[in-house]
C-alpha cells in the first residue's frame, strides 16, 4: 500500500513541478540546490525498484510573456526552466542514486560550452505531450512519458526536444538501459547518402514520428526550408552497443504525375 501511494504521489506532484512536495529522502540524496522536474517509476524485467528523476541545478525561470524573441521556438520551450539538466536513476528500496548523467544539448561540443538546457513547465502541444491543455492548447507537459523506444521490452525511454527550425525540432532519446541498469542519453550513428558516418545525440524529425514497432522507425519526410527534396530515414536499435543506427537518403521531391483526363 505504501509503495502504491508513493507512485501515485510522484505522478501527481512531480508532473506539476512541485519541488516543495518532494519526499524528504529524495531531497536528502540530491544536491541541496536541485529542483525536481518530474519522476517516474520504471517497471523493469527483474522487478528492480527503480525511479527515474529528471532534475535541474539552480534553474532560472523563464516566462514566455517576458521573452522578446518569441517565434517558432516557443512551441518547443514555452515557459521553461533554464539551467544544468540532469537525469538520475534511483534505487527506491535503498534510497540511493545509482547513476546521474548531464543532459547534453544539441550544440554540445560545438559553439556552446555552457552546461545549460531548457525544460518547459508550460508549453503548447507542438512537441511534448500536454495531458490537460487549456483553450490555447497549452499546459503542463508530461516529459517523462516512458515508452519502449529501443525494442528491449521495457517502457523506460522518453524524448527531449530542442528548436532547430520552424516545424523541425530535433529530438534526443534518454532513459533506462536494462543492459547496464543505468540511465543514459542514447547515441545514434547515421549514414546519410554516401557521406562519412556521423555520431550524435540529436536527430531531426524521425524520433518524434510513430514507430513501426518498438526499436524501428521507417519514414519519408519533407524538410522544407529551401530543400526541394524528401528524406528517407530507417532507424534500428543495436542492443549490444546501446546505439541507434540511422540510414538516411535524400531524393528530389518530384511532383506527383497527374492522371490522364484530369
Examine residue 261 and state whether it is found in any structural domain, yes or no: no
Q: For the beta carbon of residue 159, count every other beta carbon within 10 angstroms.
A: 19
pLDDT given at position 235: 95
Strand 243-252 relative to strand 85-91, pairing: unpaired
Q: What is the CA radius of gyration of the chain?
A: 20
Examine residue 262 and state whether it is found in any structural domain, yes or no: no
Please give the tally of structural domains in the chain: 1
pLDDT given at position 53: 98
Examine residue 38 and state whether it is found in any structural domain, yes or no: yes
Name the percent of the chain in helix, strand, coil, to the closest 5.
Answer: 10, 45, 45
Q: Which helix (H) or strand (E) holds 184?
A: strand 182-185
pLDDT given at position 258: 55
Please tell me the distance from the alpha carbon of residue 66 to that of residue 58, in angstroms, as a whole number: 20
Examine residue 259 and state whether it is found in any structural domain, yes or no: no
pLDDT given at position 4: 37
Examine residue 258 and state whether it is found in any structural domain, yes or no: no
Examine residue 234 and state whether it is found in any structural domain, yes or no: yes
Q: Confirm if 130 and 120 have CB atoms less than 8 A apart.
A: no
pLDDT digits (tens, 9 = 90+) for 18-64: 444 678 999 999 999 999 999 999 998 777 899 999 999 999 999 98
Examine residue 99 and state whether it is found in any structural domain, yes or no: yes
Phi-psi domain of 11 (left: phi exceeds 0; alpha: psi -120 through 50; beta: other): alpha
The parent domain of residue 125 ranges over 2-252
Q: Helix (H, G, I), strand (E, B), or coil: what is residue 2? A: helix
pLDDT digits (tens, 9 = 90+) for 137-170: 899 999 999 999 999 999 999 999 998 877 678 9
pTM of the predicted protein model:
0.84
Amino acid at each position: 500500500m505504501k509503495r502504491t501511494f508513493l507512485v501515485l504521489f510522484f505522478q501527481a506532484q512531480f508532473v506539476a513541478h512541485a519541488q516543495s512536495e518532494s519526499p524528504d529522502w529524495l531531497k536528502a540524496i540530491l544536491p541541496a540546490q536541485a529542483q525536481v522536474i518530474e519522476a517516474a517509476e520504471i517497471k523493469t524485467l527483474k522487478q528492480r525498484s527503480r525511479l527515474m528523476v529528471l532534475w535541474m541545478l539552480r534553474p532560472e525561470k523563464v516566462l514566455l510573456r517576458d521573452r522578446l524573441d518569441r517565434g517558432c521556438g516557443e512551441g518547443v520551450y514555452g515557459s521553461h526552466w533554464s539551467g544544468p539538466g540532469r537525469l538520475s536513476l534511483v534505487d527506491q528500496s535503498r534510497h540511493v542514486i545509482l547513476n546521474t548523467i548531464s543532459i547534453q544539448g544539441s550544440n554540445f561540443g560545438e559553439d556552446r560550452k555552457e552546461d545549460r538546457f531548457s525544460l518547459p513547465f508550460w508549453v503548447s502541444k507542438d512537441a511534448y505531450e500536454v495531458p490537460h491543455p487549456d483553450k490555447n492548447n497549452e499546459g503542463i507537459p508530461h516529459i517523462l512519458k516512458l515508452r519502449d523506444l529501443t525494442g528491449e521490452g521495457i517502457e523506460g525511454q522518453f524524448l527531449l526536444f530542442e528548436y532547430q527550425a520552424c516545424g523541425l525540432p530535433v529530438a534526443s532519446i534518454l532513459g533506462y538501459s536494462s543492459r547496464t541498469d543505468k540511465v543514459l542519453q542514447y547515441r545514434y550513428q547515421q549514414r546519410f547518402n554516401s557521406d562519412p558516418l556521423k555520431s550524435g545525440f540529436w536527430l531531426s524529425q524521425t524520433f518524434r514520428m510513430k514507430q513501426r514497432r518498438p526499436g524501428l522507425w521507417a519514414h519519408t519526410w519533407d524538410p522544407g526550408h529551401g530543400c526541394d527534396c524528401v528524406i528517407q530515414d530507417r532507424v534500428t536499435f543495436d542492443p549490444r552497443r546501446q546505439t541507434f543506427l540511422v540510414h538516411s537518403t535524400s531524393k528530389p521531391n518530384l511532383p506527383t504525375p497527374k492522371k490522364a483526363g484530369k
